Structure 1
Amino acid sequence: MARDDGSTGSRERILAAAAAMLAEDLTARLSVRAVAARAGVSTGSLRFHFPTQRALQDAVLARIYDHVFPDDPIHDRSLPARDRLVNCLRQVLAPTGVGKQAREAWGKAYQMFIAPEPTEEVRAAYLALEREGGRRVEYWLTVLADEGAIPREDHARRVRFLLTLLQGLSVERALPAEDSILRSETETLYTAVDCVLDAPHT
């Protein structure tokens, strides 16, 4: 039997096992024992690759995000910075759909994170998703800062603003609308992105 020596293969098996567990139950607590057993590796190997539960959860969510959005539009230099950032934000909203699909998505979110008691498992699952969303938005802003489109600084306030905007727009997609929701959503996204790009350095 081959010794589990912390190879790249064992890291991939760990991530695949954790992703499968989250696919089955988004609130699943990625415990060392459970993930190691699912991956067929030792707990020591898992700890070698992921010293903390948060490190494991962040890594698997990053992997899931990269799989869902393989072609990040922030790198499309043929478009201005504002268009690229709007396109990135649209990608986040796209999976929620509009109308019935958005209502179903919010129904699932309600059942997972709002209806149940806020146990440590529920809280950890939600905060992990929030961290991953923040990580991606911060990455986009860092790319734009490297290009000189926004100041190089801590982007925490901009990230929080854009995440709050996305939450609101995703709820709006599930609510009855008088006008074209996608047209008004585009106007809102451009207004928000213009605020982020034009914000003075403070």
Structure 2
Amino acid sequence: MTKAERALETRERILTAACEVIADIGFEHVSMRKVAEHAGVSKALLHYHFDTREKLFAEAMTHSFAKTGTDTGSEDDSLPAADVLARIVRSMLPTDAELRQDWKLWQELWVRALRDAAARVLAVDLYDQLHAWVAGVVERGIASGEFTDCDVAEVGTLVLALCDGLGNRLMLEDPRIDLATAQSTIWRAIAPALGIAPVFPEVAPEVSPAV
């Protein structure tokens, strides 16, 4: 392994550890020492890669966000657009332990964004990327004839808003909402605009490597 590869591996380990610690105890209680211990690196090495908690938090959020699209197959043009969109919806809900951790990070970001300008800019940027991700699949479905022509931006906004609202209730373990209900509610809301059946597709999760 080259020096550059070792540095990249260390950085990845630190970011993974930071995501886990922040999700576990909240950003306000996180110290660089705790992250270093969890990552199995020295505090000095941690500071070499990230000189402040704020920079570490921003990088951890971006790292977590980048993994969100790992299992959606969004780069596979052979998949029907509806199947890809269903996988995106599922990936934006707390459907498993890893995604619940991601949701905890998002909730930490929302709280910080209310008081911190840099966190607010980061949150808006990540939402822009999510919106573009959804819009790209909708546009592909329209181009292929799978979806009817519609207001792509409006559909994207609706998907994100519903995922946020229902995802929060899933995180709260609201007894009125389970995963199947959340998915079907989102699908029924967007189906008329897309001209598709209002039944959430039964699509097996993609297990390909991260893009």
What's the counterpart of residue 7 of structure 1? 7
The equivalences for 1:1-202 within 5 A come to: 7-36=7-36, 38-39=38-39, 40-43=41-44, 45-50=45-50, 53-64=53-64, 70-93=70-93, 95=95, 134=127, 137-138=130-131, 140-141=133-134, 143-144=136-137, 161-170=158-167, 174=174, 176=176, 181=181, 182-191=183-192
Rounded to whole Å, the distance in 2 between the matches of 1:148 and 1:190 is 13
Shift, 1:11, TM fit? 1.4
What's the counterpart of residue 198 of structure 1? none
Rounded to whole Å, the distance in 1 between the matches of 2:90 and 2:29 is 30
Shift, 1:172, TM fit? 6.9
* Identity in percent: 23
Q: Say if 1:82 and 1:193, in contact at 8 Å, map to a contact too.
A: no
Q: Say if 1:58 and 1:132, in contact at 8 Å, map to a contact too.
A: no
Tell me which amino acid in the other structure corresponds to 1:25.
I
Shift, 1:52, TM fit? 5.0
Tell me which amino acid in the other structure corresponds to 2:130.
V
Q: Say if 1:69 and 1:91, in contact at 8 Å, map to a contact too.
A: yes
Q: Say if 2:17 and 2:35, in contact at 8 Å, map to a contact too.
A: yes
Structure 2-normalised TM-score? Answer: 0.49
In structure 1, the gaps of 5 or more residues are: 1-5, 97-104, 195-202
The count of corresponding residues between Structure 1 and Structure 2 is 166
Other structure's SS at 1:57 match: helix
Structure 1-normalised TM-score? Answer: 0.50
- Shift in CA distance, 9/87, structure 1 to aligned 2, threshold 3 Å: closer
Other structure's SS at 1:188 match: helix
Tell me which amino acid in the other structure corresponds to 1:73.
G
Q: Deviations over 1:164-191 (max 9, x none)?
A: 22123336764648xx835443211435
Tell me which amino acid in the other structure corresponds to 1:11.
R
Q: Deviations over 1:53-80 (max 9, x none)?
A: 4442233234445557631232232244
Shift, 1:88, TM fit? 0.5
Tell me which amino acid in the other structure corresponds to 2:72.
D
Q: Say if 1:27 and 1:121, in contact at 8 Å, map to a contact too.
A: no
